[in-house]
Amino acid sequence: MNTLGLERRDGRNLLLVAAVVTLVIAATSEGPTWVRLVAGGIGGLVSSVVFVLSTLLINRYKPDHW
């Protein structure tokens, strides 16, 4: 994670976001259990990618006084 420019705190937040999104999607989707788990996993993966990209962009372009 350090090679990307992410801090330890960002990694913790990434796991938290992915877990919450996965649980919410799995709990609210319809279908058999395996379908709900797959949908939750895909949603968690997509949210993780978006989180990393947005964090990298924020870290790169944020003002110095932040």
Nearest to 44 by CA among 62, 26, 31: 26
What distance in Å separates the CA atoms of residue 66 and residue 51, rounded to the nearest whole number?
19
Q: What is the pLDDT of residues 3-41, one digit of tens each?
A: 677 888 888 999 999 999 999 999 999 999 999 999 999
- pLDDT at position 31 is 92
Q: What is the pLDDT of residues 32-55, one digit of tens each?
A: 999 999 999 999 999 999 999 999
Q: How confident is the model at residue 61 (pLDDT cuts 50, 70, 90)?
A: confident
Q: How confident is the model at residue 2 (pLDDT cuts 50, 70, 90)?
A: low
Nearest to 29 by CA among 21, 18, 20, 40: 40
